[in-house]
Amino acid sequence: MNIAFPDINMLVILPLIVIFGSALALLLIDLFFIPAGNKKITGYLALAGLLFTGLAGVPLWGMEESSFSGMVVVDTFALTLNVIFIIIAAITIIISLDYLPRQGIEQGEFYPLILFATGSFVLLAQSTNLILIFLGIELLSITLYVLTGFAYPRLSSEEAAMKYLLLGAFAAGFFVYGIALIYGETMTVDLNQIRLYLTELESSSTAAVPGPTLLLIGGALVLIAFSFKIALVPFHMWTPDVYEGAPTPVTAFMSVGTKGAALAALIRIVTIALPTVQDAWVPVLAVLAAATMIVGNVGAVAQTNVKRMLAYSSVGHAGYIVLGVVAMSAHGIEAFLFYLLAYSLTNLGAFAVIIVLEQRGESAWSLDDFSGLGQRQPMLAVAMALFMLSLAGVPPTAGYLGKFFVFAAAWESGLGWLVLIGVITSAIAIFFYLRIIVRMFMHEPVRDVQPALHRSITWTIAVAAGAVLLFGFMPNLFIDLAQRSVIALGG
């Protein structure tokens, strides 16, 4: 009997092997060798794992290859995203090092879980097959459910995890059923073959042959599932609660990483599989983006809890990032990548400042706790002000350029109304971001909050702030990379 094995190229999945391998190894090392109470070592080892994952991407640079029967692909788009994801994970781990023991929730499993989640991001960026995308989304979700509930037995954390899990599992149901319908129509779960099926259908299309109805219904279900993961309105209800209840580093991690990874997979699906049925999904996604920008930013205005305000603001930012996807152009993808990088650095920095102010047993999330921060901790206040300006999209920050690029891309694609909504909501957003700055510099301190400034987190905030400014002044450092990614996508 002859069994023909398909050609496989292990090099294509090298980053995945390294990150999952180090996550598994770390679980065992943590269990047997790291003494309780000294789990920081696990954190440092996790950073080493991330470093190796980054190094594993170096020999792949410039490669464009798909392997495992076209299930996994490596190209500059995936590798660029990998770099962003590794930066996100590294910052998350560094800001957790002191936070976890301070909150009394230090468990060694935290760091391997972050690695698993990052591995699922990488998987999502590289996969071109619906089965793999499903696996990536689920791996990401299940690790995040655990991480959200990590502050057990704090009830808010448990409750957040429960809500996240119920809605996440609900979304997974939609996702699988959507894949089932797409599969029923096209007989394949491979994105390239779905496109082949659609182009064939188009060329043979007559009045007698019905359109791809099942595929469109399935696509709508898949879009619902993605909207849950990216937190697009009206599927965002869980976001404020989950972001508030989760431990702060986890909130920071999922507010940037999950969105980026899920959108990367969505971009693969729409650019590879569905370009021929653009008329069906672009308007839907555009309306979702508009609703997201409006609800996210208007919702943030009413918040006095800064962590919750950042949760709403991250909903709003999801809308802006989606603008880059609905533009369906090379500039759109570039804008998406740049916005993701700028937003990740800014948001992680802002959450790092919140972590510094957060003490054991009490949370300094109220606006009052920021009052007078400019007198007590001028450098910290300046960094926070910079992050707020970048989130609001004020020049000369990276956030400003990110917004500019996504708006320009959407404008070129003829989505003027969407750009208008984006600009108006950005103006609304300036109000609540500026409110924090005003509190920090023009109010007297209301109560004494002792910032827990350790060296690692101080450096993280400084580096993030520096990067936000650097990319604000010199976007070309990254744009070049983004442009090559677009060529790789065939955009």
Partner 1 sequence: MVPTDYYVLLSAALFTIGVLGVLLRRNAIVLFMSVELMLNAANLALVAFAYRHANIDGQVLVFFVISVAAAEVAVGLALLVTIFRTRSTTDVDEVSTLRG
Tokens in use for 283? 């308007």
- Bridge partners (DSSP) of residue 365 are none
Single-letter amino acid code for the residue at 308 = R
Piece of the chain touching partner 1 by CB under 8 A; list 138-146, 342-350, 409-417, 440-448: 138-146
User: C-alpha distances in angstroms, 326 versus 174, 232, 272, 289, 490?
Assistant: 22, 13, 14, 9, 16
The answer to whether 62 touches 11, Cβ cutoff 8 Å, is no
Tokens in use for 266? 């969505």
Judged by beta carbon, residue 106 or residue 190, the one nearer partner 1 is 190
Judged by beta carbon, residue 152 or residue 459, the one nearer partner 1 is 152
160 part of the interface to partner 1, by CB under 8 A: yes
Task: State the nearest-atom distance from the C-beta of 163 to partner 1, in Å.
Answer: 8
Q: Among residues 146, 284, 382, 408, which is the contact residue for partner 1, using CB under 8 A?
A: 146
Single-letter amino acid code for the residue at 40 = K
Task: State the nearest-atom distance from the C-beta of 15 to partner 1, in Å.
Answer: 22
Hey, how many other C-beta atoms are within 10 angstroms of the C-beta on 255? 28
Round to whole Å and give the CA distance between 279 and 276: 8
Strands (E), 21-98: 65-67, 72-74
Round to whole Å and give the CA distance between 28 and 30: 5
Q: Which residues, numbered 288-327, are part of the site for partner 1 (CB under 8 A)?
A: 302-303, 305, 308
For 488, how many CA atoms within 13 A lie in the half-sphere containing its CB?
27
Round to whole Å and give the CA distance between 143 and 98: 21
Q: Among residues 135, 284, 487, 489, which is the contact residue for partner 1, using CB under 8 A?
A: 135
For 202, how many CA atoms within 13 A lie in the half-sphere containing its CB?
11
Judged by beta carbon, residue 53 or residue 128, the one nearer partner 1 is 128
Round to whole Å and give the CA distance between 211 and 219: 14
- First vs last C-alpha separation in the chain: 43
Q: Among residues 33, 44, 61, 152, which is the contact residue for partner 1, using CB under 8 A?
A: 152
Taking only Cα atoms into account, the Rg of the chain, rounded to an integer number of angstroms, comes to 22
Task: State the nearest-atom distance from the C-beta of 439 to partner 1, in Å.
Answer: 19
Judged by beta carbon, residue 242 or residue 274, the one nearer partner 1 is 242
177 part of the interface to partner 1, by CB under 8 A: yes
Task: State the nearest-atom distance from the C-beta of 258 to partner 1, in Å.
Answer: 16
131 part of the interface to partner 1, by CB under 8 A: yes
145 part of the interface to partner 1, by CB under 8 A: yes
Task: State the nearest-atom distance from the C-beta of 120 to partner 1, in Å.
Answer: 12
Judged by beta carbon, residue 189 or residue 337, the one nearer partner 1 is 189
Task: State the nearest-atom distance from the C-beta of 467 to partner 1, in Å.
Answer: 32
Q: Residue 10 class from Cβ within 10 Å (0-12 exposed, 13-18 middle, 19+ buried)?
A: exposed
Running DSSP on this structure, what letter comes out for residue 328? -
166 part of the interface to partner 1, by CB under 8 A: yes
Task: State the nearest-atom distance from the C-beta of 136 to partner 1, in Å.
Answer: 11
Round to whole Å and give the CA distance between 221 and 177: 7
Task: State the nearest-atom distance from the C-beta of 173 to partner 1, in Å.
Answer: 3
109 part of the interface to partner 1, by CB under 8 A: no
Piece of the chain touching partner 1 by CB under 8 A; list 23-31, 91-99, 133-141, 450-458: 133-141
Task: State the nearest-atom distance from the C-beta of 155 to partner 1, in Å.
Answer: 5
- x/- letters, 69..108, toward partner 1 (CB under 8 A): ----------------------------------------
Q: Among residues 174, 281, 387, 432, which is the contact residue for partner 1, using CB under 8 A?
A: 174
Binding residues for partner 1, rule CB under 8 A, total 45
Q: Among residues 64, 109, 158, 368, which is the contact residue for partner 1, using CB under 8 A?
A: 158
Piece of the chain touching partner 1 by CB under 8 A; list 81-89, 120-128, 159-167, 323-331: 159-167
User: Treating both helix axes as pointing N-terminal to C-terminal, what angle do 248-268 and 130-148 enclose, rounded to 10 degrees?
Assistant: 170
Q: Among residues 89, 179, 295, 333, which is the contact residue for partner 1, using CB under 8 A?
A: 179
User: C-alpha distances in angstroms, 42 versus 27, 39, 180?
Assistant: 9, 5, 41
DSSP H stretches of helix in 302-397: 306-326, 330-357, 373-376, 378-392
142 part of the interface to partner 1, by CB under 8 A: yes
Round to whole Å and give the CA distance between 59 and 11: 9
The answer to whether 403 touches 320, Cβ cutoff 8 Å, is yes
The answer to whether 25 touches 48, Cβ cutoff 8 Å, is no
Q: Which residues, numbered 221-250, are part of the site for partner 1 (CB under 8 A)?
A: 240-241, 244-245
Q: Please give the residue ranges that form the binding site for partner 1 (CB under 8 A).
A: 130-131, 134-135, 138, 141-142, 145-146, 149, 152-153, 155-156, 158-163, 165-166, 169-170, 172-174, 176-177, 179-181, 183-184, 187-189, 240-241, 244-245, 302-303, 305, 308
